[in-house]
Amino acid sequence: MLRQYELVDLVKSYDPYADEDALNRAYVFALKKHGSQLRTSGDPYYSHPIEVAGILTKYRLDCASIVAALLHDTVEDTDTTLDEIKELFGEQVAQLVDGLTKLAMIEHKTGSSKQAENFRKLLLAMSDDIRVLLIKLADRLHNMRTLNFCPPDKRARIARETLDIYAPLAERIGMEEVKSEMDEIAFAELYKEAHDSIVARLNFLREQGSDIVPKIIKQLEDDMEKNGVHCTITGREKSPYSIWRKMQLKNASFEQLADIMAFRICVDNVADCYQALGIIHSKYHMVPRRFKDYISTPKPNGYQSLHTGVIGPYDVRIEVQIRTYEMHEVNEKGVAAHWAYKQGQRTEGRNFRWIRELLEILDQAQNPDEFLENTKLEMYNDQVFCFTPKGDLIGLPVGSTPVDFAYAIHSNVGDTCVGARINGEIKPVRTILHNGDQVEILTAKNQHPSLEWERFVVTGKAKAAIRRYVRINKREQFIALGKDILEKLFKAEDQELSEKLLVAVLSDFEAETVDDIYAKVGEGLVTGWDVLRTVHPAYRQSKLEKMVNAIKLPTQKKKAKKDTLKIRGLIEGMAVHFAGCCHPLPGDRIVGIVTTGKGVTVHTVECQSLHNYEKEPERWLDIDWGPEAENEKHVARLKLMLSNEPGALADVANVVAKAEANIMNLNITYRTSSYFEILLDIEVQNVDQLNNLILALRAEKQVSYVARANR
């Protein structure tokens, strides 16, 4: 643990004008407030904020950030108030501590949306001040370093959250060292067997060629010196996690990777970068498709370097990275390498394009879970770089289409996209874009986003915008449908329906407007009969009672008793069966349709077949799953798009088996030379099990699309 004078000396070493008094007071304040509190490891709790502050000094952060790091847990874990922080350390420090405290309070909540809500709060905080993210990353890094002291279930949760959210965020702002260390610790925790296997292979390679790295460095240095290039060359192994991820992405074995060993050449200027590249390519055979120029087209996080793969000295496949010393500093430390706070400037998170795009996704998402799903897409994919007709560079994930490109320009352009002119040729919206493509988006005023677009777009921003439009459009349809249902039902029953009557019962349906009631009826969340009985309490549902009596079948009485345990809201004696068009599962919102002579058919509220009963609201029943529903197996239907290659179906079957589900039927509906579509009938217990299976299938490389089928 850093001592007080050591921390102050570190800050003063790069910022001679730092407020030494504030640093000393914050150090002592943290010690006193955390007092006898202990961490899981048994260390004094105050060691944690001090270590977090120490991590930030490596990135030469300003004095206010260091003070906020020392105090970041005081408001949450002690009797300290935000007003006290503001009075003692100033407005700027108080705002940083406030942002971090709100995050910590969210992190301690439980529930399925906790992680998503946590990330949403982090985005809002860092959009005001990017230093909140930097302090949070340092906080998470130190927690990862002490992860082994946590219980196993907590270790797995923290490691997964780090791998999914915090490591990609560190990469986005260019903090490569932080990202790599968090990745490695999380990888070792979550995938221990894979981690140990790769480490064992790396150890074997070291033993076989213990002197190969210095030999290669010496040869490269000689090559540069003979051509008059002044440089510094270092060699390194790729980390186990980056090796494993590349094996997954490329579906390659350990031996097939060309860049297990990477060598970095740092030179004085950009001209020397390209001269060094020419020297390397003129002497060694280049590995095809391994050259990338991130100097002329930097990554979104500002990363600049030349990358090439060659059969290098001693016939060893290596990766060579060539950059200037300044680029290297930025590449390793990212945002912190060109920090502006010590000059009194303020860098808002909104100045970063990727944060602005995440904020747009936040505005369009229906709930925190959807937001988290789309932002993961936005952060994870490798990049392709395309140009607008004016020459502006747009970075997109690999596999992006003109629709993704259109939404990257502006949401309105995406909404009205009808096609694209790619390199001068008109192409459809599902065309895959490649590096260097010049893309001109073609639009039409009457065009609207299509739900089909979601099948081929890859950016989170595009997916969020499409879902938002479909959601709004669906609401309008539900309002129109619900209004029509109520008008026809009230008319058929000779009862008055007016907006004034509906306004009087808004609270009964947890609605704010009359349109909310119409929408709930149209969506099937509320039945027309519920509204009729609420508006006219004296009314009796005589017609429905007659219909119910007509479908009571004596021979099915024994079976019906069992069914009513599974479905609540039915009158005893009603026969029940589940619709084959939508395959409802426990956990789905459901509605019952009464059919004379057959009983009640259970549908999901999203089922397209319900449109057939729009003009017969008297058939609709408000039902729900009973406590015994999950004791039996239910059949769900999935639609998948698979790569047309050997073993694809076997991999799908293996994933289904691991999810403890069972394939009941399989039907190939469409086939091409590169892919095919199939319908799978899967036996599961509830919708949660099905959703987990869908997530597992989406993680498979051969599966390009998977969703629940409505028919």
What's the rounded Cα separation, in Å, for the pair 454 and 711?
A: 18
- 8 Å CB contact between 635 and 583: yes
Q: Which residue has the tokens 């009941």?
A: 664
Q: Encode 355-364: b = buried (16+ Cβ within 10 Å), e = exposed.
A: bebbebbbeb
Question: Cα torsion for 310, 316, 318, 324, to the nearest 10°?
Answer: -80
List all residues 6 or more positions away from 603 whose beta carbon is below 8 Å from its beta carbon: 579, 581, 582, 584, 590, 591, 592, 593, 609, 610
CB atoms within 10 A of CB 477: 14
**DSSP-based helix, strand, coil % in the chain, nearest 5:** 55, 15, 30
Catalytic residue from among 20, 77, 84, 329: 77
| 19 is known as an active-site residue | no
Q: What are phi and psi of 288, to 5 degrees?
A: -55, 140
Q: What is the DSSP string of 405-467?
A: HHHHH-HHHHHTEEEEEETTEEE-TTPPP-TT-BEEEEE-TT----GGGGGT---HHHHHHHH
Neighbours of 332 (CB within 10 A): 17
Residue 595, beta-bridge partner list? 599
Which burial class, exposed, middle or buried, applies to 77 when counting CB atoms under 10 A from its CB (0-12, 13-18, 19+)?
middle
- Gap between the Cα atoms of 132 and 94, Å rounded: 12
Name the DSSP letter for residue 165. Answer: I
CB atoms within 10 A of CB 250: 11
CA quadruple 601, 603, 605, 606: dihedral, nearest 10: -140
Q: Active site residue: 20, 76, 221, 369, which one?
A: 76
Distance of CA 264 to the CA centre of its chain: 32
76 counts as catalytic: yes
- Residues designated as active site: 76-77
